[in-house]
Amino acid sequence: MDTITDPSIEMQQLAKKIQQCCSCELSSTRTHIVVGTGIIPSTLMFIGEAPGKNEDQQGIPFVGRAGKIFDQLLNSIQLHRNNVYITNILKCRPPKNRNPTIHEITRCSTWIDQQLKIIQPQVIAPMGSFATHYCCSKFNITFTTIGSMHGIPMKITHRKFTGTLYPLYHPAATIYNNQLKHTLFDDFKKLNKILSTIL
Ligand code: URA
């Protein structure tokens, strides 16, 4: 007989394992592991790139400058961190916020795969090239550029995920680029429409 497990408890158990991860060299420079935050399960799952300095200090995703923009984006469509799930491809901060390496992504991906199973989202919104590239390779879609893929919903039928993949620019990319910020806010409006068709 199958045992029915509460997804929040499953996530707590997974978080304990993630907290002990030493499978790449980032474990030696991190202050905190950033597992993720939000409601479990969740219709909508955001995936960022990796913790930055503030996230590493606090153990919470998107609490720095990019996080402020992210909160504004959520609020612009009447959402809040408590209504969605937010995590990153990498759970530990790369030193000096350098790009994640393929080795680190490969090692860390075991965690996001397990999070995905627990969260059971209907919409996955990867933010930025690294997260979008990761999702595309996971679901057998060709990644081109974030500039050509953002704001375009894609129906995915894959053994690991059935639902909509909706790539977005990374909020950090919009800090010094107002045009991109407008685009990102517009893409959030479209996201709201997508959500209204499934809720
Ligand atoms: N950038 C990310 O991709 N994730 C965070 O948690 C913070 C900044």
Query: In a structure prediction context, what are the per-residue pLDDT tens digits for the chain, which is 199 residues long?
Result: 566 689 999 999 999 999 999 999 999 999 999 999 999 999 999 999 999 999 999 999 999 999 999 999 999 999 999 999 999 999 999 999 999 999 999 999 999 999 999 999 999 999 999 999 999 999 999 999 999 999 999 999 999 999 999 999 999 999 999 999 999 999 999 999 999 998 7
Residue 59 inside a domain? The answer is yes
pLDDT at residue 165 in the model: 98
Residue 1 inside a domain? The answer is no
> What is the whole-number distance in angstroms between the Cα of residue 61 and the centre of ligand 1?
6
pLDDT at residue 5 in the model: 84
The closest alpha carbon to 171, from 60, 37, 70, belongs to: 70
Asked if 168 and 125 touch (Cβ cutoff 8 Å), the reply is yes
> What is the whole-number distance in angstroms between the Cα of residue 123 and the centre of ligand 1?
19
pLDDT at residue 1 in the model: 58
> What is the whole-number distance in angstroms between the Cα of residue 99 and the centre of ligand 1?
12
> What is the whole-number distance in angstroms between the Cα of residue 105 and the centre of ligand 1?
15
Residue 2 inside a domain? The answer is no
Residue 98 inside a domain? The answer is yes
| DSSP code, position 50 | -
Asked if 134 and 101 touch (Cβ cutoff 8 Å), the reply is no
Overall domain count for the chain: 1
pLDDT at residue 2 in the model: 60
Q: How far apart are CA 132 and CA 108, in angstroms?
A: 15
Question: Which domain covers residue 49, as residue numbers?
Answer: 7-196
Taking CB atoms and a 6 Å cutoff, what residues make up the pocket around ligand 1? 48-52, 55, 61-62, 64, 66, 88, 172
pLDDT at residue 199 in the model: 72
The closest alpha carbon to 153, from 130, 132, 174, 177, belongs to: 132
Ligand 1 closest atom vs CA 128? 3
pLDDT at residue 198 in the model: 87
Strand, helix or coil for residue 168: strand
CATH number of the domain encompassing residue 31: 3.40.470.10
Residue 65 inside a domain? The answer is yes
Q: How far apart are CA 127 and CA 117, in angstroms?
A: 19
Buried b (16+ CB within 10 A) or exposed e, 54-85: bbbeebbbbbbebbebbbebbeeeebebeebb
Question: Best substitution site from 35, 37, 45, 55 to test ligand 1's pocket, by max atoms within 8 Å of Cβ?
Answer: 55
The closest alpha carbon to 85, from 30, 25, 40, belongs to: 40
